[in-house]
Amino acid sequence: MIFKVFSKKELPRLFDVIAVNRVVGPVQKGTNKDGNPLHTFEEVRDFAELSLDYKTTILSAKRFVLPFHETLCTFRVTENGWEKDVDFNVRGPTVFFGLHACDINAFNRLDKVLMESVYPTPYYASKRKNMFIIGTNCEPQPYCFCRSMGTDTALHGFDLFLTDIGDRYFAEVQSATAYNFLLQIKTADPKEKDHQRYIDVVAEKNRKFTAHVDNTDLTKILDMEFQSRAWKEWGDKCLSCGTCASVCPTCYCYGVEETVDMNAAGARKTKSLHSCNLIDFAEVAGGHNFRPERHSRLKYRYYHKHRGFVEAFEESLCVGCGRCGEACLADITVPEVIASVRGEGH
């Protein structure tokens, strides 16, 4: 791997070099009731719009690759029947300026099921393959448990990763394109004291984690505790609103709906992201629902994230960003649910 350091003053220049492309980054959208800033990922045109010191965003960057609604295809009525026109809805390359490690890892994990398994989906791949990612380091928040999920650092899945080491950035360069961009600003090779400063910054970050999840034998424990009372208790609190799935950087399940155009000359097939907590998730024609109770749906969500995905890909689908717990109206958080299922605090 190639490392560089550059002065903080150089970052706006790097932005200008890159900004001939569409750039998406963290911007402040407003403030919450306590006056704290709320951030979101938006398209930006000026470096000044970016809030690179953001703590987290309410919605993840998922929507740029998995839009909440997406037209999968359209149909045209023709003389002999119909024709199907497929469009993967890709807008060309996009630079993601300032993703945290959890969100980079979220894309890496989505890749496994959406791109690297059987039936790779072109709707995802077309956008994913058009991402240029600049990662930035972050400060653990009370809800962050990425360290437990092995996602507090990103090993791959970015072009450039910047760590703030005081007056300068310590940059990991993982693509030739990123290297070429860096040639256009003033950089230097890191010295021994830069290495030491980087190690200190990471060590300091690691000391700040307060939320943890014990993943030891979790796949087995989830099976053993399938009938645990804890599920029922969390299920009674759950509002089945699906907010957790909306804010989650790795929830990818969806529903498909077809509609006829108003002029009846065509139709379209639309994919909408869904949530396994919504009541109709597993309901079949005729009305039978395989998961009619709230707790069975909530439990399923944990099964998919923390058991099924681990079985299939040797790592959890949850990246520990903590967004679901922050957004949950019923105060259901992953660390608490898993601790209770493990029998801690009961």
Query: CA 287 to CA 339: how far, in whole Å?
Result: 35
How many other CB atoms are found less than 10 A from the CB of residue 270?
16
The piece of 35-43, 71-79, 147-155, 197-205 that touches another protein (CB under 8 A) is 71-79
Per-residue interface string for the shown chain with another protein, residues 207-236, x marking contact by CB under 8 A:
----------------x--x----------
Instruction: Provide, rounded to whole angstroms, the least separation between the CB of residue 337 and another protein.
Output: 16
Q: Does 183 bind another protein (CB under 8 A)?
A: no
Residue number, 168 or 291, with CB nearest to another protein:
291
The piece of 37-45, 80-88, 232-240, 335-343 that touches another protein (CB under 8 A) is 80-88
Per-residue interface string for the shown chain with another protein, residues 255-274, x marking contact by CB under 8 A:
xxxxxx-----xx-x----x
End-to-end Cα distance, the chain: 47
Query: CA 150 to CA 131: how far, in whole Å?
Result: 23
Q: Say how many residues touch another protein, by CB under 8 A.
A: 51
Phi and psi, residue 214, nearest 5°: -90, 110
Query: CA 234 to CA 214: how far, in whole Å?
Result: 18
How many helices and strands (H and E) does the chain possess?
13, 11
Residue number, 147 or 291, with CB nearest to another protein:
291
Query: CA 191 to CA 189: how far, in whole Å?
Result: 6
Report CA-CA distances (Å) from 217 to 41, 127, 227, 305: 35, 35, 17, 14
Q: Which residues contact 207 (CB under 8 A, 6 or more apart)?
A: none
Q: Does 292 bind another protein (CB under 8 A)?
A: no
Q: Does 205 bind another protein (CB under 8 A)?
A: no
SS3 47: helix
Both structure tokens of 9: 């003053």
Residue number, 43 or 223, with CB nearest to another protein:
223
Query: CA 307 to CA 311: how far, in whole Å?
Result: 6
Instruction: Provide, rounded to whole angstroms, the least separation between the CB of residue 39 and another protein.
Output: 28
Q: Tell me how far apart the 2 most distant CA atoms of the chain are, in Å.
A: 73
| 124 within 8 A of 66, measured Cβ to Cβ | yes
Q: Does 89 bind another protein (CB under 8 A)?
A: no
Q: Does 79 bind another protein (CB under 8 A)?
A: no
The piece of 13-21, 30-38, 171-179, 252-260 that touches another protein (CB under 8 A) is 252-260
Q: Does 92 bind another protein (CB under 8 A)?
A: no
**Binder among 132, 169, 231, 300 for another protein (CB under 8 A):** 300
Beta strand 160-164 with 131-136 is parallel
Q: Does 285 bind another protein (CB under 8 A)?
A: yes
Instruction: Provide, rounded to whole angstroms, the least separation between the CB of residue 90 and another protein.
Output: 13
Interface with another protein (CB under 8 A): 72-73, 75, 80-82, 84, 86, 113-114, 117-123, 125, 223, 226, 252-260, 266-267, 269, 274, 276, 281-286, 290-291, 296, 300, 303-304, 307-309, 311-312
